[in-house]
Amino acid sequence: MRIFLAPMEGVVDFSVRALLSGIGGIDGCVTEFVRVTHTQLPEKVFQRFMPELNNNCRTQNGTNVKLQLLGGNAESLAINAQRAVNYGARAIDLNFGCPAKTVNNSDGGASLLRSPERVYNIVRAVRCAVPSDIPVSAKIRLGFEDRSSYMDNATAVAEAGASELCVHARSKADGYKPPAYWDYINRIREAVDIPVVANGEIWNLEDFKRCREQSGCEDFMLGRGLMAHPDLARQIKAHIAGEEYQCLSWREICTMLHNFHRGTVDHYPEKYMGNRLKQWLMYLRRHYPEADVFFEAVKRQRDAASIERIFDEQYAVIS
């Protein structure tokens, strides 16, 4: 069984991938999407999205990272995939799931699911453009306006030669509204002959068990659930191995957040000081009630000293 960390634009960047994969239980990561239009992207763009290119496409603890591309022009995607491989990428993932209006209006992401033929052409073009030892995978939703095209798009991906398919079990119209329709993934899994990765709405161990049962999958991708519960993958792996597992305490999470904040503070302009920390606390609130209190205390703080003071106050309350 494998568990992957989902790509999340504006959330799961290099530092979050390093941190979460360092906690353990994660078998692979995917970068935020790199938007491909008609230009040939320079190396620095790939480097910006994937600093792991300098580390043999691995996070600090050695977890593999795939580069994700998004676009609607098969030829341009093929050229840029090839360029990315020349710059060191070792696996390419194609995004057919993004629901954002700006992306869909400029012909990318989930809007392509309206035409399985285009999905096929894109996967085929990229598959043919990169060496055969470079895996090309795709990430889809179940459809655009509704879920009726789910099988056509899934088979298009498989027939075009993709090595793996990740299915976020909702249509674009379903947005992020629960539930996720895991039973659709089961039908896809039975119909295609490539590994199928189940994704969507796995927030805790119970969700995982239900997703596994309904999808029949052995591979899973977790996004928001790992942000809310950073050791969820470890808990799931321990469950599968029949081992006892003690989830990370709020104190351990606080230390993790503190390291994350200190390690990333220099990467962002001063006016965004603390924004990533606040964003992460919003996710953590779902699993740790203490994160709510922390968030309320930190939300108006915009300078390094004030944020450090809030951390000190947290530690004082915990110990």
Ligand X SMILES: Cc1cc2nc3c(=O)[nH]c(=O)nc-3n(C[C@H](O)[C@H](O)[C@H](O)COP(=O)(O)O)c2cc1C
Where do contacts with ligand X occur on this chain (CB under 6 A)?
6-11, 32-33, 68, 95, 97-98, 139, 168, 199-202, 222-225
* CA separation for the pair 33, 105 (Å, rounded): 16
Which CB sits closer to ligand X, 223 or 230?
223
Which CB sits closer to ligand X, 6 or 16?
6
Q: Closest separation between CB of residue 139 and ligand X, Å?
A: 4
Residue 223, phi then psi, degrees to nearest 5:
-115, -90
Which CB sits closer to ligand X, 11 or 247?
11
Q: Closest separation between CB of residue 40 and ligand X, Å?
A: 21
> 167 and 198 in contact (C-beta within 8 Å)?
yes
Q: Closest separation between CB of residue 201 and ligand X, Å?
A: 5
Which CB sits closer to ligand X, 218 or 308?
218
Which of 98, 166, 217, 254 is catalytic? The answer is 98
> 235 and 247 in contact (C-beta within 8 Å)?
yes
The answer to whether residue 211 is catalytic is: no
* Long-range contacts, 23-26 (Cβ 8 Å, 24+): 23/230, 23/231, 23/233, 23/234, 23/248, 23/256, 24/231, 24/233, 24/234, 24/237, 25/231, 25/232, 25/233, 25/234, 25/235, 25/236, 25/237, 26/63, 26/226, 26/233
Q: Closest separation between CB of residue 177 and ligand X, Å?
A: 11
Paired strand residues for 35: 70
Which CB sits closer to ligand X, 223 or 274?
223
Q: Which tokens in the block code for residue 71? A: 């676009």
- Residue 264 DSSP symbol: H
> Following DSSP, what letter does each residue of 94-119 receive, concatenated?
EEE----HHHHHTS-GGGGGG-HHHH
Which residues are identified as catalytic? 98
